[in-house]
Structure formats: C-alpha cells, structure tokens
Amino acid sequence: SSALRTPSNLTASKLTGPSSQGKGSVGDERNSSNKYYRYCQSSCFLGVVLLSFPFFLSLCAAAARYEEGESEAESITSFMDTSNPLYQLYDTVRSCRNNQGQLISEPFFHLPSKKKYPDYYQQIKAPISLQQIRTKLKNHEYETLDQLEADLNLMFENAKRYNVPNSAIYKRVLKMQQVMQAKKKELARRDDIEDGDSMISSATSDTGSSKRKR
C-alpha cells in the first residue's frame, strides 16, 4: 500500500526543499560574485584603455605630423630639382635636426592654430610657415637665395617675438638660423665659383675664336 503522507513526512519534504534551495543560493552567490569580479575586470580594463587613449592619440598625431613633413619633402621634388640652390636651402631648414638626431623644424611646418593661439595673430602681423614658403617655391616666386632667406628669417623672427628667450622653441630657432646662414654662405660661395668657371671658359672660347679669325 502506498505510504501515507504523515505530518512528519510533510515536514521532511518541506525541509529538503529549502536545503536544496540553500545549495542553489550558494551557487547564485558564487555566480553573482563571479559576475562582479568579471565586471571589475572589465571596468579596470576600460579605465586603462581610456587613460591610455589620449597618449595613443598623441602618438598618432605625432606620427601623422612626421609623415606629413616627410611627404612634404618628397612632393617638393616633383616640381623642383634637388640640385637647385633654392631647394637645398629650404630642405636644409626643413630637415634640421639637433645633436640627438631629433627633427626640430616640425613646429614650423604649419602656422599655429588660430583657435588655440588667437594672441599669436594679434602679435604677429606677417605670419609665415614652411608650408607657405613651399607654396611660393612651387609657384616660382623666389628668384634669388636672398629672397628665400628673407622669408625664412621672417619665420624665425616671428617665433622669437612670440616665444620667450631660453624657451625650447626659441633655442630651436637659434639653431635653425645658424644652420640656414651656414648653408646660404656655402651655396653663395659655390655659385661664385661656378660663375668664375663660366667666365673663364667664356674667355677661353673667345680667345680661341679670335685666334682662328687671325
């Protein structure tokens, strides 16, 4: 015969339920703690990513600026011979590096942002950068080294006027000016030698022709 459900049996059956639920509740606690742990891990990881993001962006921006400078140098050769003294003077300034081999002309590739540095355009009445100088080279607006040197010096003097002495940018300007002046003298000296050679060859050819006439 089937067992009767006595009060004691009912009590026992009621006790087994909570007991199994109790085990389940422990499992639920473990699951919830695991979820919390995973949440903490994700939050920490996200925090690290967010903190690192500005640094990553700055690296990308620096890389982009560097590549932009390099591509600028490459593109200028598409319309100007590298043996041209104007190109050589411009490239000497654009590719100027310090004793550690770091490119120091980068801040001069483009004009300062009008939004970030509005006071720059209040102080500097004739702003100019290597980008503007490059455009003028492309349009053949320079006929002599003196004209190109004048614009480069204008760029340097603008930077010296806006930045305080002994600042990093001021020191870069002094270095770049020194390099530019040395290159200008070298190119001018080379030009004088070539002019002298051409005059000698011209005089020699004239002498030869006069001898033939006799």
Report the chain (214 residues): mean pLDDT per 10 consecutive residues: 45 40 45 54 51 45 42 65 94 95 96 96 97 95 97 98 96 97 95 66 56 52
SS3 210: helix
Quote the pLDDT of residue 206: 60
pTM higher than 0.75: no
Those residues with Cβ within 8 angstroms of residue 3's Cβ, 6 or more apart along the chain or in another chain: 9
pLDDT at 57: 43
pLDDT in the model for residue 54: 47
Non-local CB neighbours of 175 within 8 Å, separated by 6+ positions: 96, 98, 104
